[in-house]
Amino acid sequence: MAPEDALRAIDIGCDGILVSNHGGRQLDRAIASAVALPEIAVALEGRAPIIVDGGIVSGTDVFVALALGATATMVGRPILWGLAAAGAEGVRRVLTGYRDELDHAMGLAGVSSIADFGRDLVA
């Protein structure tokens, strides 16, 4: 959750960084992963992949995370909700929804590739 920690992890040999506040369950009033992400991405300057977790409940959330510097996102609870509601088909629907929402957000933002993402796409 801090750029200094991310840099230290890379310096001692970690292959990537996971930005996560553990769903806010570990420390009351912890900052959101999306708040920590931009500073960490700037500090790492592309030296390692950055995976972000926490609050990713839609394809639009994936869009924002990628625009703020994440290489990828993790999805937790929504997958479990889909599984509980409809088994494997429910998981498929959740993941398809994420993909479709991401595609829609990209179209609205005028980008056709994740390589075109940048912080200027979000406020």
Which of the residues 22, 77, 92, 119 is marked catalytic?
A: 22
Kindly report the three-state secondary structure assignment for every residue of the chain.
CCHHHHHHHHHCCCCCEEECCHHHCCCCCCCCHHHHHHHHHHHHCCCCCEEECCCCCCHHHHHHHHHCCCCEECCCHHHHHHHHHHHHHHHHHHHHHHHHHHHHHHHHHCCCCHHHCCHHHCC
Catalytic site includes residue 104: no
Give catalytic residues, as residue numbers: 22
